[in-house]
A and B are shown apart, each in its own frame.
Chain A
Amino acid sequence: DTAVSQTPKYLVTQMGNDKSIKCEQNLGHDTMYWYKQDSKKFLKIMFSYNNKELIINETVPNRFSPKSPDKAHLNLHINSLELGDSAVYFCASSQFGGGDKETQYFGPGTRLLVL
């Protein structure tokens, strides 16, 4: 009964390839996020979707494209992978509306290694 799940947990690929990471939440939340954690452990938001609508789009290369088929799923597709894309990518979810709902719950992370 995992709350926020991501697949795959590990991804090793060559430069120039295209890859996708999938995220699903069963918490009934309406807002989902993608974060990137770099080698120095710094966590930074990339995207946020609320009810399938993009609401946060940080300065991220166009090679990164999020897709939300429904409010329980948020996928991240990365084109033409580069060495600098190597990181841990976290999905998270929350319920819009303030108070306790502002708490974000994180998935287990996907470690991406680009060779």
Chain B
Amino acid sequence: AQTVTQSQPEMSVQEAETVTLSCTYDTSESDYYLFWYKQPPSRQMILVIRQEAYKQQNATENRFSVNFQKAAKSFSLKISDSQLGDAAMYFCASKGGSEKLVFGKGTKLTVNP
């Protein structure tokens, strides 16, 4: 069975600074996908970034990038130049092959002005 662990229930960052959110996962699938979703107070689930496990290159989307360490089963999210609008719950998720999408418990990010 897949598991996703986010060990930081809460994090805070100063505006314009950089923050890294941690995620570890476990799966028996050889082909799988990893995701970070953002849930602001509006509660909409928004895809932030996606990584295919077979790709060695770390995914990036503007100020968002990941550090994908396949052997360590680690998938951390780095947010650069943090903005007030980045304040939200961030969920790491894993999907292997035909299996279901499994979420971590989330990290609440606060951005201080």
Interface residues of chain A, those whose CB is within 8 Å of chain B, are: 33, 40-45, 48, 56, 58, 88, 90, 92, 98-100, 102-106, 108-109, 111
Question: Using Cβ atoms and an 8 Å threshold, which residues of chain B touch A106?
Answer: 37, 44-46
Set A33, A41, A109: member contacting B106, Cβ < 8 A: A41
Across chains A and B, which 5 residue pairs bring their CB atoms closest together, nearest first? A106-B45, A43-B103, A102-B33, A45-B100, A109-B43
Is the CB–CB distance between B43 and A88 below 8 Å?
yes
Interface residues of chain B, those whose CB is within 8 Å of chain A, are: 31, 33, 35, 37, 39, 42-47, 50, 52, 89, 91, 95, 100-101, 103, 105-106
Question: Using Cβ atoms and an 8 Å threshold, which residues of chain B touch A45?
Answer: 100-101
Q: How far is the CA of A105 from the CA of B45 in the complex (A)?
A: 8
Question: Using Cβ atoms and an 8 Å threshold, which residues of chain B touch A103?
Answer: 33, 35, 47, 50
Q: How far is the CA of A43 from the CA of B39 in the complex (A)?
A: 11
Q: A41-B105, A103-B35 given as contacts; is B43 within 8 A of A108 (CB)?
A: yes
Is the CB–CB distance between B44 and A108 below 8 Å?
yes
CB-nearest residue of chain B relative to A100? B50
Is the CB–CB distance between A105 and B101 below 8 Å?
no
Is the CB–CB distance between A42 and B103 below 8 Å?
yes
Q: How far is the CA of A105 from the CA of B47 in the complex (A)?
A: 7
Question: Using Cβ atoms and an 8 Å threshold, which residues of chain A touch B42?
Answer: 108
Q: A102-B95, A103-B50 given as contacts; is B45 within 8 A of A42 (CB)?
A: no
CB distance from B47 to the nearest CB of A (A): 6
13 other A-B residue contacts (CB within 8 Å) besides A58-B100, A102-B95: A33-B101, A41-B89, A41-B106, A43-B91, A45-B100, A56-B100, A92-B45, A103-B47, A103-B50, A105-B47, A106-B37, A109-B43, A109-B45
Q: How far is the CA of A1 from the CA of B30 in the complex (A)?
A: 37
CB distance from A71 to the nearest CB of B (A): 18
Question: Using Cβ atoms and an 8 Å threshold, which residues of chain A touch B106?
Answer: 41-42
Q: How far is the CA of A106 from the CA of B19 in the complex (A)?
A: 25
